[in-house]
Amino acid sequence: MEIIVQKYGGSSVADTTRIKSVAKRIKEKVNTGEAVVVVVSAMGDSTDKLLGLAHSVAKNPDARELDLLLSTGEMISCSLIAMALQEIDIDAISMDGAQAGIRTDEAFGEASIISLDPSHILKQLASGKVVIVAGFQGVTEDLSTTTLGRGASDLTAVALAASLKATCCEVYTDVEGIYTADPRMVTNASKISEIGYEEMLELASYGAKMQPRSIELAARYNVPVLVASSTSNAEGTLIHDLSFKNKKDDQMEVRNKVSGVASEKGIARITVRSVPDTPGVAASIFEPLSKAGISVDTIVQNASAERLTDLSFTVSQDDTSNAISIVQKIATSIGAVEVVSDENLGNVSIVGTGMQNGTGFASTMFLALKNADVNIEMITTSQIRITCIVDESRVEDAVIALHDAFELDKG
């Protein structure tokens, strides 16, 4: 039995008209003879509506209660998809997270999948049914409903594909695939036809549409993921293993180019000035931030004279005031001079495999930004990515300049 997992996002099932057209697309796939499992997100803005209800009864709604509340959004869309399929003579059955066998830990609001028992789904597929699974949710040992975090219907789909040994996980969305840059910023951005997991992970972490955790999971289980449009039939982007061993065309050359430009806004930088450069200082700053649930992104520490150093890191703008007040206390206790912040930053990254082998990438990037009159505030690099923190108002210009410099419009 060849199994395909399809995932439809919230905009693809925003109303009953779109639900009916999604049902037609599923029927086309079923007619090719494959066994189909479908994962759906909540309809359009229904998750936000449920959040609104929660916040009107409680200032800080309990995470466990919020999970039961939010999980209903996906149950509604998945039962409606099943009905719409039955209406066009396709036998279908819906399942919530519990029935689909998705067992999680108790980290309500951002639970991790502990195990996935696909036996119930396999049984229904074997009887010729299309199985519709409510995305974004699972259950704990004692059957408390959990959610897997925002955007986690992607994760549900990839986890099911891995567990069911599906031939492909198809993620249908309101864009036609992954682009070399955000098409809203760069008019001549081109669609990427295929990309490796690591590159996609860097792109996803820096702005492109796909939940990073789901890419990690796909990479671990080697699940091919196709990102494509839920309304057109245009070819999408295939995310899969591009390493040498997986190559089918015997192409020995290592890919050595920039795949795309990613960007983000809404970043703040916090700098702790003149920190005594002794062991344990970094931990004393970042452990309390982590405990407060503040996600720290880029961290830069400069070497400096006289055993004093400046330590900078970036956080989401929403977390700034909270982070500053935590760091301020620590700064005083460790004898740092002051804590300063800059709240109007963004970032721009180039992503590509083989980047570590060519120093030309960094210099081309910095030159392009200079020519576009974009000042670089901070720089960080990974094996397949170079990121520059820049002024928020300059992000678009930086993306356009980099897209041109690396000739990404040529695909």
Choices 72-80, 159-167, 216-224, 297-305; region in contact with a second copy by CB under 8 A:
72-80
Q: How far apart are the first and last CA of the chain?
A: 36
For a second copy, the closer CB: 76 or 379: 76
Count interface residues toward a second copy (CB under 8 A).
40
How big is the chain, counted in residues? 411
Kindly state the DSSP code that residue 164 receives in the 8-state scheme.
T
Q: Which helix (H) or strand (E) holds 116?
A: strand 113-116
Candidate list 11, 144, 229, 317; residue touching a second copy; CB under 8 A:
144
For a second copy, the closer CB: 38 or 386: 38
Contacts with a second copy, 84-113, as mask; x by CB under 8 A: x-xx-----xx-x-xx--------------
Q: Does 137 bind a second copy (CB under 8 A)?
A: no
**Which of 386, 3, 47 shows the shortest CA–CA distance to 206?**
386
For a second copy, the closer CB: 54 or 372: 54
- What's the half-sphere exposure (Cβ side, CA atoms, 13 Å) at 163? 21
Q: Does 76 bind a second copy (CB under 8 A)?
A: yes
**Which of 65, 69, 57, 59 shows the shortest CA–CA distance to 108?**
65
Cβ(74)–Cβ(40) below 8 Å: yes
Candidate list 71, 104, 137, 347; residue touching a second copy; CB under 8 A:
71
Choices 27-35, 58-66, 180-188, 359-367; region in contact with a second copy by CB under 8 A:
58-66
For a second copy, the closer CB: 27 or 265: 27
Q: b or e along 256-288 (b: 16 or more beta carbons within 10 Å of the residue's beta carbon)?
A: eebbbbbbbeebbbbbbebbebeeebeeebbee
Q: Does 138 bind a second copy (CB under 8 A)?
A: no
Strands of the sheet with 225-229, listed across from one edge: 92-95, 130-134, 35-40, 3-8, 168-173, 225-229, 237-239, 194-195
Choices 69-77, 212-220, 294-302, 354-362; region in contact with a second copy by CB under 8 A:
69-77
Choices 30-38, 76-84, 213-221, 265-273; region in contact with a second copy by CB under 8 A:
76-84
Q: Does 58 bind a second copy (CB under 8 A)?
A: yes
For a second copy, the closer CB: 87 or 407: 87
Q: What is the largest CA-CA distance in the chain?
A: 77
Within 15-44, the residues that bind a second copy by CB under 8 A are 16, 19-20, 23
Rounded Cα distance between 131 and 320, Å, is: 44
Q: Does 69 bind a second copy (CB under 8 A)?
A: yes
For a second copy, the closer CB: 54 or 308: 54
100, with CB counted inside 10 A (0-12, 13-18, 19+), is: buried
Q: Tokens representing 283?
A: 């931990």
CB of 105 to a second copy, least distance (A): 17
Which sign, positive or negative, has the C-alpha torsion 11, 13, 16, 17?
positive
CB of 124 to a second copy, least distance (A): 10
Query: In which residue are the tokens 């959004």 written?
Result: 73
For a second copy, the closer CB: 119 or 333: 119
Q: Does 305 bind a second copy (CB under 8 A)?
A: no
For a second copy, the closer CB: 23 or 331: 23
32, with CB counted inside 10 A (0-12, 13-18, 19+), is: exposed
For a second copy, the closer CB: 80 or 223: 80
Q: Does 54 bind a second copy (CB under 8 A)?
A: yes
Q: Does 66 bind a second copy (CB under 8 A)?
A: yes
Rounded Cα distance between 327 and 285, Å, is: 6
Q: Does 78 bind a second copy (CB under 8 A)?
A: yes
CB of 81 to a second copy, least distance (A): 8
DSSP secondary structure, 31-77, as one string: TTT-EEEEEE--STTHHHHHHHHHHHH-SS--HHHHHHHHHHHHHHH
Q: Does 309 bind a second copy (CB under 8 A)?
A: no
**Which of 27, 18, 24 shows the shortest CA–CA distance to 130?**
27
CB of 410 to a second copy, least distance (A): 44
Please report, as ranges, the residues that interact with a second copy according to CB under 8 A. 16, 19-20, 23, 50, 53-54, 56-59, 61-62, 64-66, 68-69, 71-72, 75-76, 78-80, 82-84, 86-87, 93-94, 96, 98-99, 120, 142-145
